[in-house]
């Protein structure tokens, strides 16, 4: 029996390894697929950022469809003034995360324009565009590598630092402290050398978001996109992460895709998106006074959080 068990056990391990590798290859192809959606225009030049301070971002009459038969965004116009925060709220499927993908140019829009400091994002190199934008996504993908690598990754592509593969351990630790994940990392027996990802230590949703925040702190881009996690964090964790996001966003041009309204109260402007159109817009207090879609969403969320 034992003789049979060992090879079977070995086969089980082998099977898991192969399955994992296939999952990684699959992920890689999905990324490559995305990359193929867009290409640098011939003669594209690097995005030019203002000499001082962050740039503004403008969406002008933007339309988009993943599938031509089904328009997702229709005639959207708004501006994120330099250094300000615009938040997008609305029901699931309204197109909020799509807006973020378009700004990062995962896809090209089908109508209108998106401009950063006056430059159409289709006319600049993707490398310079993505260098200027930091994303804290809904669900952070961790590499099967150490926590240090996963945080330092935020700084591997900086053209201003040729040859640098990641930040120094001191810089990684400083970013981890600012993102409030340092104590968690230090409590692991291998500290920053702890392996994470699918084959290593599994991190919770909140811990993964903190890794993403630390990455973004290291990258230090002038434009930020926060795609708030839909998965519920406990409320203490949620408040803490919100505070960290706010401090990262200070002085940066920020687009927040909000699934909870508590995140957006301080935004310069809130856009209420329904079926790919802006149905209401304005700061929190003005929208509450309007007593429309936003006020209803707010009342609903208040009653849910009171009940919890």
Would you tell me which residues interact with ligand ATP (CB under 6 A)? Answer: 66, 72, 90, 92-98, 230, 259
CB of 98 to ligand ATP, least distance (A): 3
Q: Is 117 left (phi over 0), alpha (psi -120 to 50) or beta?
A: left
Give the residue carrying structure tokens 């089904």. 70
CB of 36 to ligand ATP, least distance (A): 14
CB of 300 to ligand ATP, least distance (A): 15
CB of 69 to ligand ATP, least distance (A): 11
CB of 28 to ligand ATP, least distance (A): 17
Q: How far apart are CA 230 and CA 139, in angstroms?
A: 9
In the bound state with ligand ATP, the residue whose beta carbon lies nearer, of 122 and 260, is 260
In the bound state with ligand ATP, the residue whose beta carbon lies nearer, of 217 and 256, is 256
Q: Longest C-alpha distance within the chain, in Å?
A: 75
In the bound state with ligand ATP, the residue whose beta carbon lies nearer, of 148 and 273, is 273
In the bound state with ligand ATP, the residue whose beta carbon lies nearer, of 72 and 218, is 72
Contacts of 110 (CB under 8 A, 6+ apart): 63, 64, 65, 68
Q: What is the 3-state secondary structure (H, E, C) of 3-22?
A: HHHHHHHHHHHHHHHHHHHH
Question: Across-strand partners of 302?
Answer: none
Counting Cα atoms < 13 Å in the Cβ hemisphere of 299 gives 10
The number of beta carbons lying within 10 Å of the beta carbon of residue 16 is 11
In the bound state with ligand ATP, the residue whose beta carbon lies nearer, of 101 and 180, is 101
Residue 16 tokens read as 């898991």
CB of 276 to ligand ATP, least distance (A): 7
In the bound state with ligand ATP, the residue whose beta carbon lies nearer, of 119 and 209, is 209
Q: How far apart are CA 98 and CA 104, in angstroms?
A: 10
């Amino acid at each position: 029996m034992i003789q049979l068990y060992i090879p079977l056990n070995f086969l089980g391990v082998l099977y898991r390894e192969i399955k994992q590798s296939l999952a990684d290859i699959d992920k890689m192809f999905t990324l490559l697929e995305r990359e193929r959606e867009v290409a640098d225009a011939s003669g594209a030049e690097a995005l030019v950022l203002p000499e001082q301070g962050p740039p503004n971002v403008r969406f002008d009459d933007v339309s988009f469809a993943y599938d031509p038969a089904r328009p997702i965004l229709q005639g959207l116009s708004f501006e994120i003034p330099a250094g300000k925060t615009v938040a997008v709220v609305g029901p699931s499927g309204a197109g909020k995360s799509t807006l973020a993908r378009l700004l990062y140019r995962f896809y090209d829009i089908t109508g209108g324009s998106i401009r950063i400091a006056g430059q159409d994002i289709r006319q600049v190199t993707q490398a310079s565009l993505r260098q200027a934008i930091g994303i804290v996504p809904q669900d952070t993908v961790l590499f099967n590598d150490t926590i240090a690598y996963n945080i330092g990754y935020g700084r591997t592509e900086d053209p201003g630092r040729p040859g640098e593969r990641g930040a120094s351990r001191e810089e990684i630790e400083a970013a981890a402290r600012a993102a409030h994940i340092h104590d968690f990392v230090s409590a692991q027996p291998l500290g920053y050398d702890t392996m994470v990802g699918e084959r290593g230590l599994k991190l919770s949703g909140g811990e993964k978001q903190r890794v993403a925040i630390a990455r973004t702190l290291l990258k230090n881009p002038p434009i930020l996109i926060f795609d708030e996690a839909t998965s519920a964090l406990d409320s203490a964790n949620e408040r803490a992460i919100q505070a960290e996001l706010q401090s990262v966003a200070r002085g940066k041009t920020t687009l927040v895709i909000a699934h909870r309204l508590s995140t957006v109260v301080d935004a310069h402007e809130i856009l209420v998106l329904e079926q790919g159109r802006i149905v209401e817009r304005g700061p929190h207090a003005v929208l509450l006074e309007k007593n429309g879609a936003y006020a209803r969403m707010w009342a609903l969320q208040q009653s849910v959080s009171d009940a919890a």
